[in-house]
Structure 1
């Protein structure tokens, strides 16, 4: 490898002095569906990537989950598919510890010709929403919790997944051992490798939990006071989990509902708000909830119908929403109640926060978090009343005001809906067009069940 350290900024020169065998650098971003895309450059071009950037079509952010471009709202074929300047996000240069050969990695963001953030990038949708809260003198502190499944790389007939073989017993686990320590011990090698990779990439993790089904786990991300960084960490976390699982001969999936008969995987978001003095405005002191917290809850519940297509972005996402399995089915809130949409966990002071429990693990973290912060801003600005907290089980029945089908959810994205002032009407229109085309494509296929039900011999 040629000596290029003299051409690099100090951060990159230090990196190569620590990892001199690095062969290439991956420049990555997360698209509309949360799929990680980007380019791989030979390490000799690291200086160019860091200092000058490179070009990529803006339409990369308007691809469906299969990577197809549907020209949503004229973005792609109709506008000539123009390139935009890609810039590296400062501080994102990290090693890729699960790679088969030594690799580096940077996260990138797009700029428009005038240097402003690219409008259709999900990260910049979140940025616009955060700026509105900053305008009120408020700074969000955010943490994500993600559930995921480890599955065997060998599928059942028809492509269905199956749990992995336990390293401890040599058999497939079938039962549910939620919080089971033996399960954590059995998979300790791969889970430790995952948290170690997170530490190497500066993705702050906390507790590790065995969840409600065989092969299902949750690893919590720590709170950070930069929402963009929190969502970046979430994107990196998913990539890490999938990469380490592959290294161990397994597959990790953040699919919302890979098994019909088992628990789905959610992406819970925890948010508190700090004022200019660093005080948590959600803390009500002697009161159970501050007025600001109540108004924030009211705003999030108000925009929930139009948020659903971001929180549950795929056909499979809606299979999570079943009664009595701790997945919310009502526009609801409450204290220490895991059946509600917005749970207020125990503990006041700095710990007072909203736990948003609706999003699936398949959601784009930038867009999902943007819906939550938009609702918080709207509720605080308009002093929205959330109504009384829910008492008892809030997931026995379905809320008729919430769209629990993908096309109904997409239809809620109008240019006058509550998210339009935050995401931008143009973005909502393009997103809806992309998801409608994806849904049309999905529904155009004949499933095996249709043959079983409707193919008549006579």
Structure 2
């Protein structure tokens, strides 16, 4: 990768960097991709910048609503007293938060206090560990992310009152059915130039805040769906890209708060409409940044025309993705609701499938002749916007690298143009239809996930998903009550 030392922040340069500040905001990432952090004084931050500080491990012992997991998991549990783990600031993640008076911001990574190794469940640590396998071979990885998301706005509870005094979406839903929640705009109007003007300050506010917060948007437009936007983030080095993807949601949610808007990144918020995707792009590069997926000379004898311009390394990477995708589904579709998006006929892939410039396939190969050689990459289209970007990119990288190490061969033909996923011409294995099915495959002894991530991570994350499944199994939905209350 190109040298970036000119912009490197060091422990020695920190006092100068923060000379005019009095406080610093710090945040780490939990298994659901949610930022968990705090505000500290500058004095405190400077004292812990090198060695880190104690951070309660309960963020890996509870779910997204702070309910402890019903199963005791290794990282954090009652037996170990939900002990502290070590949070070490990543100085390279420095940003200033433009909507909070430019307060300094750093991401942290979590380490075991006894071994000083990354906590197995730490999303940033998992990706760093996956990247080290490439780095020892002098290689790097580039990535890009695309997010679709719905936006909702509760009706005003007090006419002409300031936004801060209006009811939130959460408050509205305590008293009203979900389907009564209004979308930010109604109707289907993808790539509209006029719809964003309905909420112009909000629309441009997000774009500008992302730029200032170092998670810049490359493309920003309405998607087909009521109140749906899509952002393509500017591509970059894979670990930095994961940070940008995770922080993008933080930007959107923070800016939206000032307008009384609730952005929704859940995979399928509305029945009968397409869901929210979180497509990820990836390529492997050498130390000079040269794309290694491109084949210098077209292979006229390629088994499939689709891979004629794809290097041997790229072919092995693709084979690794195809081979391992069914075993890592909880990482790319982590919630009960994720599988409502992964259904036939809703612009979402449901099988292990691939193809050159095939937008219906799970893995879309982007390569010459339809793309520049330097832009050769894979777009993995299975993840939803609800997935943790660190886990998604870790899974893609780990599976692809396994394919390279084992020199795996592509075992199935590409989807032909006009062929639909899940149709008679699709030879791919059907991906899991539920979180329960996905977690069972992920957790089984012979899972490829165990091979690439190790038992400790797989056991921990599987336990967190079993918790989600248990809560869902115990839930009584509006649909059930409406269907059965009178008739059975």
TM-score (norm 2): 0.84
Superposed displacement of residue 16, structure 1: 4.5
Distance 1:276 1:14 in 2: 30
Alpha carbons of structure 1 residues 183 and 381: separation in structure 2 relative to 1, 3 Å: same
Cα drift, residue 338 of structure 1:
0.6
- Structure 1 contact 147–217 (Cα < 8 Å) conserved: yes
Would the alpha carbon gap of residues 408 and 247 (structure 1) be closer, same or farther in structure 2, given more than 3 Å must change? same
Q: Which residue of 1 aligns with 2:465?
A: 435
Cα deviation, residue 163, structure 1:
4.4
Q: Could you tell me which residue of structure 1 aligns to residue 93 of structure 2? A: 92
The Cα offsets for residues 138-158 of structure 1, whole Å up to 9 and x where unpaired, read as 211111111112211345722
2:399 is aligned to 375
Distance 1:159 1:42 in 2: 41
Deviations along 1:280-308, one digit per CA (max 9) or x if unpaired, are 11101332222222221111011111111
Contact 2:422 2:430 (C-alpha < 8 Å) held by counterparts: no
Alignment of 1:92-241 (within 5 A): 92-99=93-100, 103-112=103-112, 113-154=114-155, 155=172, 157-160=176-179, 162-165=181-184, 173-225=185-237, 227-241=238-252
Partner residue in 2 for 1:280: 291
CA drift of 1:433 comes to 1.2
The structure-2 alpha-carbon separation of the partners of 1:304 and 1:129, relative to structure 1 and needing over 3 Å to count, comes to same
1:361 paired residue among 380, 385, 407: 385
State the 1:434 CA deviation: 1.6
Are the structure 2 counterparts of residues 421 and 134 from structure 1 closer, same or farther at C-alpha, using a change threshold of 3 Å?
A: farther
- Post-superposition shift, 1:247? 1.4
Residues 64 and 435 in structure 1, CA contact (< 8 A), matched pair in contact too: no
Aligned counterpart, 2:65? 66
1:410 is matched with 439
Q: Number of residues paired by the alignment?
A: 438
Q: Which moved more, 1:232-241 or 1:444-453?
A: 444-453
1:300 aligns with 2:321: yes
Alignment deviations for residues 148-205 of structure 1 (CA, whole Å, 9 cap, x no partner): 122113457223474445xxxxxxx322111111123333321221122122222232
> What is the CA-CA distance between 1:43 and the residue it aligns to?
4.6
Q: Is residue 247 from structure 1 mapped to residue 258 from structure 2 by the alignment?
A: yes
Q: Measured at CA, do residues 396 and 118 of structure 1 come closer, stay the same or move farther in structure 2, by a change above 3 Å? A: closer
> What is the match of residue 415 of structure 2?
390
Residue pair 1:415, 1:428 contacting (<8 A) in 2 also: no
2:13 corresponds in structure 1 to 10
Q: Distance in 1 between matches of 2:297 and 2:201?
A: 45
Equivalence for 2:275: 264
Q: For 2:375 and 2:363, locate their aligned partners in 1 and report how far apart those are by CA, in whole Å.
A: 15
Q: 1:161 to 1:62 in 2, by over 3 A?
A: farther
CA RMSD of aligned residues (A): 2.3
Quick one: distance in 2 between partners of 1:373 and 1:422? 10
Q: Which runs of 5+ in 1 are unaligned?
A: 1-7, 166-172
Quick check: 199-208 or 402-411, which moved more?
Answer: 199-208
Contact 1:415 1:429 survives alignment (8 Å): no
**Cα shift at 1:277:** 4.7
Unaligned runs of 5+ in 2: 1-10, 156-171, 299-308
Distance 1:138 1:102 in 2: 35
Deviation string for 1:399-457 (max 9, x for gaps)?
65421111000001224311213211111011111210221022212223222233357
CA separation of 1:16 and 1:200: change in aligned 2, threshold 3 A = farther
Distance in 1, matches of 2:486 and 2:230, equals: 45
Q: Offset at 1:395?
A: 2.5
- The answer on whether the counterparts of 1:151 and 1:161 sit within 8 Å (CA) in structure 2 is no
Seen in structure 2, the aligned counterparts of structure 1 residues 177 and 97 have a Cα distance that, compared at 3 Å, is: same
Residue 296 and residue 90 in structure 1: after superposition, are their counterparts in 2 closer, same or farther (change >3 A)? same
- CA shift for structure 1 position 353: 0.4
Contact 2:14–2:46 (8 Å) recurs in 1: no
- Whether the aligned pair in 1 keeps the contact of 2:274 and 2:341 (CA below 8 Å) is yes
